[in-house]
Chain A
Amino acid sequence: MVKYILKKIIYMIVTLWIILTVTFFLMYSMPGDPTQASAKVLPEAVQKNLEAKWGLDKPLGEQYVIYLKNLIHGNMGESYMTPGLTANQAIEERFPASLQLGLQAVAVSLILGLILGILAAFNRGKWIDFVTIFIAILGVSIPSFVFAALLQKYAAGGIFPIIGWVTEGMGLADIFKYTALPTMAAAISGIATYSRFMRSSVLDVLGADYILLAKSKGCSRFQIIWRHVMRNAITPIISIVAPQIAAIVTGSFVIERIFSIPGLGRYYVDSVNGRDYPMILATTLFFSMIFIICMVGMDILYAVVDPRVRKSIIDGN
């Protein structure tokens, strides 16, 4: 296991380095540059000043080397848009909101999605099956910005703030109030996806011989679902959830924008639009790292759920 983790860490560093390098050079070939991010054209002298200050006047290769050197020392640079704000600070500031929203959304969508999926599979062709299909179709074909706007309009009810986010020292009741609507908005597509996948894989499992055996042994319905169905039907869910956790905890631009949540997703988009190079690189690296960690987690989970898989993934064949 230690060897496995070590191997994964080395892989991660190499992968991150490749991602960084590609992103670095792609980023500089985007049209427009940081001195042109605002509508007002800066005097030429000011543009020159800025370029010198940010080192943009040096050859690209040299800039890359400088960036790598700084990175090794843990310095990811300072924002162009907000001088004085380092990339580390920005992520520290923005990530918690995205993380909390993401975890809540994943939790809600997993719980609801799995329950709906199992219910639908056990009641195949009955009304409850159609209700879940209906929910799933709505969830996936109504864009999240529409759903969020509808929630703000009809579900806020004067109780839930339309915008805003948790601040330091808030009580549990307030945390709930502030996070309820965005969590629902972020969870809806997950509910749709998980319920459909769960329904399908439960149906796959239900036909298996061991379920028949369990039934004939007189196992209770709950026991069958928990001990046999869940364990065997969960693999595809793991495959979907793991990368989705990465995507969702690093922030959803749409939800964060509509609910004014100070999260990382919106910050990343703002950085690209403002050509804030150090911030683009920092958020990209951070996102990729979380994604890779989730992928490793996914492989470990496969092994936990199905011990047969262990030898091919972890022990390395």
Chain B
Amino acid sequence: MKKRVLAAILSAVMVFSLTACGGSNSEQSSKGGDEKSDGDSAGTAKVSTVMLTDPDTMDPGRADDEQKNAIVLESQETLLRLIDGVLTEAGAESYEISEDGLVYTFHLRDNKYADGEEVKAQDYVNSIRRIFDPEVNCHNAGIFYCIKGGEDFNTGKGSKEDVGAKAVDDKTLEITLVESLPYFPQLLTFSNVTPVPEAKTEGEKNSSYGATAEELSQCGPFYITEWTRGSKVILKKNPNYWDAENIKLDEIEMVLAQDENTRQQLLDQGQIDVLRNASAEYVNLKQKEVDAGDIQLISGPQPRNAYICFNNTDPNGVFTNEKIRKAFAIAFDRDAYAEQVLKKNKAADGEIPPGTAIGEDIFRDLYEGPMDELLSQDAKKLLEEGLKEIGKEGETLEITFLQKNSDNETKVAAEYYQDQWQKNLGVKVNIETASDNSAFNNQVSKGLYQVCETGWGADYNDPMTFMQCYTTGDGNNPAFFSDAEYDELVNACKTEQDHKVRAEKFARAEEILTVEKCGISPVTFTYSNVLVSKNLKGIYVNGAGGPAIEFRDAYVE
């Protein structure tokens, strides 16, 4: 402590002398920006990128957001891995599916943890059990209820031994399902299904595993060598990785930068090599450099949408009416909103975003969004009819829009809808702002709101991840939408093996959800921009499944 105080005083004096000298160094700033800092000439290939949020734990069992996935999936090996968008065998050398589609048998590769230990099938079993372990509380548990015995263990009715994952021998893993999900292999790209030796999670350590980097067992292409909570994570190449000879990067540095301006400065001044979620304005500024080949721009659709969420069980009895919901869905201009207000993303015409695959195909290539016909109807007339139906004919409708309070964007969105609805429908719109995300989630999940804007990002690459939410009684159904035909269609898609038939059913369900019943109304599909320094090649940008940016095959030219 004493040393720190001394250091603090000394550097305070130095800071002081800096200001006393005036801004003599500001002149160099314009030049400093062009220099590249990557790759020391000594030959170590190092890249830097940013973390958008601060990871709270490195336990694969608790990796439930984009940022934690981005780290865990580089430091851990999944059974299957998305390589350039293609599901490829990784931790498993090969696998077989039983005829009824219920039993998966994986033959593991000879892989080792960074500390030299052998990766065994039992380690995968352990992590699958931990998904359902009440002590671990994996937020994705619900997605894996398709594994036999998982739900029972999770809800306290069964034991961990009954979970349908078994090590036949050290190199053979068997997973048994309740129903044969055609998209089950997609779920194996989750960071939750990465090996953790039982010895590391015994007793007390079961819930505390992952609180520090030192205790981690890591068998991925890289491993975490340093983790300063609230600041940065450093990953180094794992020499014991089964494919280590093809891993070309020596070090990945991930620095936390939660402020958009800061991130742009970092890229401008050459302190990072990869910037994801770059804003459209910033990309415009950089366009010249992109055209000149000084920096690479990777843009494309992300399986994520934003939608107007009507409370179908509106306590005020307004949005319970289908026609009123439709009127509000129609009465604003999606294109103008995406292009002029957000200046990013694209207007949505359906629930399932482009970039979502169904089998070998992209869903949106098979079926176009169903909403165009609805949007061409007369909103005002629908509203009048709807008001008549709920017995409020001729009244000026007053509604409250619940604004999520996370950033300026939600604020702008709320004021845009307010203006549009007031202007185009002649209603009065109040804006209620939730104090923070917890308060917002609380209010929405209890149905204590009328209408809000929210969104959904894919957990895995199949339309099911979007469509399941709006089945009756689902925990992630903020609209409280309920429709018998919809439920039947979506549930049928869980076991239907023919992707052509599934696609047809999904398309019909989507039409019910967004057009016929208009339970929710999608507004935008997400498009993301990733800026990459010109020397860095071989990185993949993933949507659902896999880390947001995959560095496994990256190299510095």
Interface of A with B (CB < 8 Å)?
A: 30-33, 36-46, 49-50, 53, 79, 81-85, 93-94, 96, 99-100, 103-104, 107-108, 111-112, 149, 152-159, 161-167, 172, 175-176, 179-180, 183-184, 187, 256-263, 266-267, 270, 272-275
Contact = CB atoms under 8 A, between A and B. Distances in A.
Contacts of B5: 103
Given A41-B441, A154-B29, A155-B26, A162 B139 contact: no
A192 B286 CA distance: 37
B22 to A, nearest CB: 11
A230 to B, nearest CB: 18
Contacts of A82: 56-57, 211, 229
Given A46-B141, A107-B9, A84 B16 contact: no
B265 A152 contact: yes
Contacts of A37: 437-438, 441
Contacts of A164: 231-232, 255
Given A149-B261, A183-B15, A260 B256 contact: yes
A259 B262 CA distance: 8
Contact of A159 (B28, B137, B211): B28
B258 interface: yes
A166 B4 CA distance: 10
B4 A184 contact: no
Contacts of A111: 16
Nearest to A81: B56
A99 B139 contact: no
Contacts of B57: 81-84
Given A32-B439, A275-B438, A158 B35 contact: yes
B16 A96 contact: no
B445 interface: yes
Nearest to B475: A41
B231 A165 contact: yes
Interface string B411-445: 00000000000000000000000011111011101
Given A39-B441, A103-B5, A176-B15, 4 more contacts: A43-B141, A163-B271, A260-B232, A275-B438
Interface in B15-36: 15-16, 18-19, 23, 25-29, 31-33, 35
A270 B54 contact: yes
B134 interface: yes
B305 to A, nearest CB: 14
Nearest to B443: A31
Contact of B29 (A36, A157, A262): A157
A33 B438 contact: yes
A104 B15 contact: yes
A34 B293 CA distance: 47
B230 A263 contact: yes
A108 B439 contact: no
A45 B154 contact: yes
Nearest to B30: A157
B501 interface: no
Nearest to A111: B16
Contacts of B553: none
Given A83-B207, A107-B9, A180-B15, A50 B28 contact: no
Given A180-B18, A270-B54, A104 B259 contact: no
A36 B56 contact: no
A222 to B, nearest CB: 19
Nearest to B442: A32
14 contacts: A46-B138, A53-B207, A82-B57, A84-B57, A84-B205, A155-B26, A155-B29, A158-B35, A162-B265, A162-B266, A164-B231, A175-B11, A259-B262, A267-B230
A107 B439 contact: no
A156 B265 contact: yes
A83 B58 CA distance: 11
A149 B212 CA distance: 31
Contact of B229 (A93, A103, A161): A93
B475 A43 contact: yes
Contacts of A36: 438, 441-442, 445
Contacts of B370: none
Nearest to A32: B438
Interface in B472-515: 475-476
B12 interface: yes
B7 interface: yes
Contacts of A183: 11-12, 15
A175 B11 CA distance: 7
A180 B54 CA distance: 23
A164 B233 CA distance: 11
Given A154-B29, A157-B25, A179 B443 contact: no
Given A81-B56, A103-B5, A163-B255, A53 B441 contact: no
A260 B16 contact: no
B134 A49 contact: yes
B64 to A, nearest CB: 7
Contacts of B389: none
B16 A103 contact: no
Contacts of A84: 57, 205, 207-212
